[in-house]
Structure 1
Amino acid sequence: MSTETVVIHQAQHDPIGSLEKLGEFINAIGTLPKWSEGGVLTDKSAQNQLIVLLSETLNVSVRLNLVFGEIEAAFNKLGIADEVHVRHMQGKHLERKHLASMESVIAIWNESQAQSMDIKIKDLPDFLRAIWEKRQTKGRGKSFSKGTLEQLARDSHGYCMFEGCGENLNVEKLTGYTGNFAYNAHIIASSESGPRGVPYLSDYQSDDPENVLVLCDKHHRLIDKVAAVDFDAARLSHMRSSFTHTVESLLEGLSFKPIPAFSVLWPVGGHIVSEPDDRDIANSMSRIRARSLGRLNRLSHNERLYRKKVEVFESSMADIVRAEADEIIQQTQNESYKAALFAFGPMPALVGLGACLGNKCEITPMLRFRDGGYWMWPQDSEVPKPYNIAFDEVELEGKDEVTVCIAMTQYPEAMKRTAEKIGMPTIEIQALAYGNAAIPHPDNGKQLRNDLHALLLKLYDQFSIRKVNLLICASNAVSVFVGQAFDLYQPYLLVYDFDSEVMKPCLQIHYQERKLSLTLPN
């Protein structure tokens, strides 16, 4: 059985000024655990030092104000002997905002992970003094070894790692000459006197491939000469890890099955959404271990008429949705009805689109991740069921109609008021954590689709429910998954959308003579 981690955030208070006071602090904590991670965080010019100690049961932050001769004894009292892990905030000062909470302390601790080394406790005073005194030894650190150069070639694949650049470094575009036009740029400078130079760390990381960006000429000059102050070590390290992760994802896609990818973009309230770019498509489809077969099939793209006159889309919604679904089904016949679907629009339209596509195919909707402003699934793999389904079966007895509230991004008052106004038993499907990423992986979306499919069958067979008022507040992908749950021998759906302070019925989904039908409510 897991226990909650205790947090002791001393660093938000005045520093501890003596070994005696430190002993009293530790005695108040009790028995210290074995730390799984931790050490000293320093900042620019070593103006501040923060001790961070982390374990499964206890997270501690401490600030000390001791003389150098007491440092080793202090760390021994805190359960750290011989060596201490040191992380450096290159180019930044530790500010009050970083000390606002233990969460913010851990965030800045993690951000500085790449600028770190282990130092003998007895050498820590010399390290701090060297930064205080702005020591800048002459000369560069170790030259690049053969192994480091080979690793850099593998990591970069011959392209500039600067965010958004990706220039091919094996060819000069103007003349067409081929060759090696790459610059291997240190993140923590190889020389203590160079851009982003740090005593001890400069020499320690000079031959570490993780401390090197492969860049084109202009971005090498940008980070070292033109705007060095704007590109601190943590930012450059993040840039490197982001590049390598993206490249690995794209190359991994070569082993994935190619399937068609479709975009169906309908404006919402006159507002448009951008279609996915190649990187969005590759990253999104990697979650279903697939890649795009050819170019993106653009079926609908924020048509101007729908943007200017929302009522035109609403009045023709049933026909528009049906036409797009038929086109997708027709174009996937030769692909065993497998495809990725980048669809965005009003929730009733997306539910209707999912219902028309059905659950016998493998057409998987992709998430427009609002928090990031692009198309992606935030989790690499399926998480434990991220929602609950709750209702009282006794209330269903003798009823032929229910209301189903699907609250994923939030559970707004308009939805609650509308459910109360309908006056029928309410089934609540609520996310454990509201937000655009409440369903964070396509397998969780399929899980929701299957659970809702089973629920609708149960309502029809066991309780003789013939109508479901569907009130939904969910992401674009979840809306499609919800529609895919609809099938024969289920109650028909009346799908609602938001209208000021309440919700109004917008689309009816039902079967007529075993054929799915979309109609507008009377």
Structure 2
Amino acid sequence: MSNTHIPKDVLHEIWWKAAGRCEFKGCNKPLYKHGVTLDKCKISEYAHIIADSENGPRGDKELSKALAKDPKNIMLMCPECHKYIDNEGKDKYTADVLFDMKKKHEDRIARLTSLCEDLQAHAVTYGAKIGNHQPDLSFHQIQDALLPNFYPVNDIPIDLGGNWPTAKEWDEYWKREVENLEYNCKDKILDKIDRWEYKRIALFSFAPMPLLVKLGTLLNNKHEVEVFQKQRSGGWRWLQEEIHTDYIINRPKYTQSVPVLVLSLSFPIAERIKKHNPNASIWEITIDTPNPDFLKSKQQLYDFGRQVERLLDEITKASNNHPLHLYLSVPVACAIEFGRVWMQKANCPLKIYDLDKQVDNIDRLAITIENKE
């Protein structure tokens, strides 16, 4: 047992570098509680690698005195490991072996304790004025929605643009907006995200449904994306409660016709779609009482995504991978989540429709999304 008086600052340094655990390789025992009773107590011992006496374990005529108070020469150990290396194990565990143990333990502790909890997010906006409604995508609204779970990386969001169609440019509008969205996503996010220190995306969107699905396919589940939903209260903050929704799946009796998927979550639209597609195989996801304000919790959105994943797989198999005709009446976050879980190689190609109230109040093809070869 050492008779050297080791200064308190040296003892403190040894303790915190070892994180209060035995530094003998493979032990790692916490030295601040009893192993049986779990009572808080100090069971640590300070073991000299090169003994502070030349006659001690691994002692040296020149180094013992010089290193007697050097924290680099002292290991934090439990009594069992300390006794072992100074007695039965003194020949097996040389100074070089113990120096290596101490270094690797302290390097591991330093590495683990340097890990910061990643709570940063790049705010991304995609929005257009809908009628007289202009979405508030200001930094103040975004920051309020993110805190306290996440923190914005920058005070200027990444803006992906977004425009609303006019009555005279239906086909031209969708073509132009898809091209703009693809370009902006690639230029502002996809080509740069590998170089970002923080790769999480916080997505705030308010745009036509087909474009939101397209956006979801671009920012798919290969990326970490937190999707937010505009609430009736005016903000984008999710409610804290974990609300669950029982999604209802209505399947067609016959699955060999043209596959159609109707999402009736905001409003019940299945009857309208059936009227214009009398011979189609119509699948539907709905809820007991469709309404535009039902989506208030991230859990509801997560549950929706899992239902969509399973149903898309079922439709793809039943329809022999024929294009799926998609009609949506859903909250914006659900449209994005649909695109994020749709798999470009495994699922049916998509033909997405939108209701053109400015022309003749019918659903018209807006966007086609093909599979990847």
Tell me, in whole angstroms, the C-alpha distance in 1 between the residues paired with 2:233 and 2:219: 28
| Structure 1 position 440, deviation (Å) | 1.7
Contact 1:364–1:442, Cα closer than 8 Å, also in 2: no
Within a 5 Å distance, the mapping from 1:185-334 to structure 2 comes to: 257-269=119-131, 272-278=134-140, 280-286=141-147, 289-301=149-161, 311=170, 313-326=173-186, 327-333=188-194, 334=196
Given candidates 504, 509, 514, the residue that maps to 2:369 is 509
Contact 1:341–1:365, Cα closer than 8 Å, also in 2: yes
| Structure 1 position 274, deviation (Å) | 2.3
Tell me, in whole angstroms, the C-alpha distance in 1 between the residues paired with 2:147 and 2:118: 8
Residue by residue, what CA displacement relative to the aligned partner does 1:284-336 show, whole Å, maximum 9, x if unpaired?
A: 2348x322112142414566x97898655334122022123323333433356
How many residues align? The count is 250
Tell me, in whole angstroms, the C-alpha distance in 2 between the residues paired with 1:354 and 1:290: 21
Closer, same or farther: CA 307–467 of 1 in aligned 2, 3 Å = closer
Match in the other structure for 2:16: none
Higher share in helix: 1
Contact 1:351–1:482, Cα closer than 8 Å, also in 2: yes
Contact 1:358–1:483, Cα closer than 8 Å, also in 2: yes
Tell me, in whole angstroms, the C-alpha distance in 2 between the residues paired with 1:496 and 1:343: 19
Residue by residue, what CA displacement relative to the aligned partner does 1:200-256 show, whole Å, maximum 9, x if unpaired?
A: xxxxxxxxxxxxxxxxxxxxxxxxxxxxxxxxxxxxxxxxxxxxxxxxxxxxxx987
Closer, same or farther: CA 302–421 of 1 in aligned 2, 3 Å = closer
Question: Is 2:319 aligned against 1:457?
Answer: no
Contact 1:270–1:308, Cα closer than 8 Å, also in 2: no
Given candidates 277, 287, 304, the residue that maps to 1:431 is 287
Higher share in strand: 1
Match in the other structure for 1:499: 356
Given candidates 402, 414, 417, the residue that maps to 2:272 is 417
SS in 2 for 1:260: strand
Contact 2:213–2:338, Cα closer than 8 Å, also in 1: yes
Give the number of the structure with larger relative contact order, counting CA–CA contacts within 8 Å between residues 6 or more apart.
2
Closer, same or farther: CA 301–309 of 1 in aligned 2, 3 Å = farther
| Structure 1 position 496, deviation (Å) | 0.8
Q: Which residue identity does 2:142 align to in structure 1?
A: I
| Structure 1 position 406, deviation (Å) | 0.6
SS in 2 for 1:373: coil
Within a 5 Å distance, the mapping from 1:55-454 to structure 2 comes to: 257-269=119-131, 272-278=134-140, 280-286=141-147, 289-301=149-161, 311=170, 313-326=173-186, 327-333=188-194, 334-335=196-197, 337-369=199-231, 371-377=232-238, 379-392=239-252, 394-396=253-255, 398-399=256-257, 401-412=258-269, 416-422=271-277, 423-454=279-310
SS in 1 for 2:191: helix
Unaligned runs of 5+ in 2: 1-115
| Structure 1 position 262, deviation (Å) | 0.9
Residue by residue, what CA displacement relative to the aligned partner does 1:395-451 show, whole Å, maximum 9, x if unpaired?
A: 11x33x311111121114xx5323332231211111334333322222321221222
| Structure 1 position 504, deviation (Å) | 1.1
| Structure 1 position 265, deviation (Å) | 1.4
Match in the other structure for 1:479: 335
Tell me, in whole angstroms, the C-alpha distance in 2 between the residues paired with 1:373 and 1:449: 25
Tell me, in whole angstroms, the C-alpha distance in 2 between the residues paired with 1:462 and 1:294: 46
Tell me, in whole angstroms, the C-alpha distance in 2 between the residues paired with 1:339 and 1:442: 15
Contact 1:329–1:337, Cα closer than 8 Å, also in 2: no
SS in 2 for 1:428: strand
Contact 2:139–2:156, Cα closer than 8 Å, also in 1: no
SS in 1 for 2:129: coil
Contact 2:221–2:341, Cα closer than 8 Å, also in 1: yes
Tell me, in whole angstroms, the C-alpha distance in 1 between the residues paired with 2:363 and 2:318: 29
Contact 1:267–1:307, Cα closer than 8 Å, also in 2: no
Closer, same or farther: CA 490–302 of 1 in aligned 2, 3 Å = closer
Q: Indicate the RMSD between aligned Cα atoms, in angstroms.
A: 2.9
Tell me, in whole angstroms, the C-alpha distance in 2 between the residues paired with 1:298 and 1:512: 27
SS in 1 for 2:159: strand
Unaligned runs of 5+ in 1: 1-253, 514-522
SS in 2 for 1:469: strand
Displaced runs of 4 or more, over 6 A: 305-310
Q: Which residue identity does 2:334 align to in structure 1?
A: V
Tell me, in whole angstroms, the C-alpha distance in 2 between the residues paired with 1:297 and 1:460: 37
Closer, same or farther: CA 283–380 of 1 in aligned 2, 3 Å = farther
